[in-house]
A = this chain, B = another copy of it.
Amino acid sequence: MDENTYIQDILSQPAALLAALDRFDLDPLRPYTRALRNGEYDRLILTGMGASGYAAYPAWLQLLKAGFPAFWVDCAELSHYARPLITKRSFVWLISQSGRSAEILRLLDLMQATPPAAFIATTNDLASPLAQAAGLTLLLEAAVEETVSTRTYLNSLAISQLVARALCLEDLDPDYYDLRKAADGIASYLANWDEHLLTLEGLVGKPQHLLLVGRGPSMAAVLTGALIIGEAAKFPALALNAAQFRHGPLEMAGSQLTVLVFGGPDETAALNRHLLHELLGFGTAAFWLSPSPQGEIPALPMPQASGIGLPLAEIVPVQLLSVNLARQTGHVPGKFLYSGKVTITE
């Protein structure tokens, strides 16, 4: 076993996820679901910062797909430039594992002055200012982290998607099944984590420039992946929607660029696959990330998962890659140089 805290945290994720699923109770959400159905809210606003905010992306798409006017807004931008978005008929859903970062505290202040109709929180800390202020707190139930978000991010993805489904009044049995299968898939995958580290080192090496692209719910892993590679390995990685990448930045293709292409849901997998082939044709080191790679394309090993479990599985190979890149750049994986665990400055 490795003594590194970050690696230990990565390995602990499947157990932490299963524990959270066992403890999770959606019953207290029912009054909100009823009010939403009765048209008591003019809009839903999902907000957060960093990995917590990015974890809300798949839930946001689910709410949009169900026809709700749902906003996914950076908490810093919301509190400085978009305050009037929160009205007394709004449903605000704030996601923050710490429940006490600078932007969260600012938004709590603003909402005290003009309270929304409903305010729920997803957090890992029942004693946090966020949990104290929210009308309903949905706990992440993950052991506290000292470094990069791992357990709390996976549990945020699981809980926020379940909450979104519950708000849409869908039958959640298939979703619980997908999440438990993802936990199993990630556990099997992580059983060989040191082998995967070697595979990643052989395939990806030390890129000159690294880019992550995807679409739809995979954007959670694209954005969080770039964040944790920067945070854990001090290695700058770009994050782009695959379609946006075509609108100009594709010109960076060539031998100096390494691209991780997330296959994602069936709806857009063919488009992403086409992009991967195009990049390979331009001499770019491009790799496919999907539980079912199919055919002869360069792919990174990835855990089995499907449905709302897929976004959880998508981040795990990037976590291992960040460990490998940290070692190659001479850093202790996940050890902070400049930050604390909680961002206390805006």
Contacts and interface: CB of A to CB of B under 8 A. Distances in A.
A257 interface: yes
A345 interface: yes
A248 B148 contact: yes
B61 A42 contact: no
Contacts of A81: 61, 64-65, 215-217, 267
A144 interface: no
A337 interface: yes
A149 B278 CA distance: 23
Contacts of A278: 345
A209 B235 CA distance: 9
Size class of A's contact patch? 35 or more
B257 A236 contact: yes
A247 B336 CA distance: 12
Contact of A267 (B80, B148, B217): B80
A20 interface: no
A249 B339 CA distance: 9
A59 to B, nearest CB: 12
Contacts of A274: 345
A253 interface: yes
A148 B248 CA distance: 8
A227 B253 contact: no
A141 interface: no
Given A216-B81, A244-B49, A252 B238 contact: no
Contacts of A151: none
A83 B267 CA distance: 13
A251 B77 contact: no
A270 B80 CA distance: 13
B82 A64 contact: yes
What are the 5 A-B residue pairs with the smallest beta carbon separation, nearest first?
A50-B247, A76-B243, A231-B248, A230-B249, A64-B82
19 contacts: A42-B69, A43-B69, A50-B247, A51-B248, A61-B77, A69-B69, A71-B71, A74-B243, A74-B244, A76-B244, A77-B216, A77-B219, A77-B241, A231-B249, A231-B251, A236-B249, A236-B252, A247-B343, A251-B337
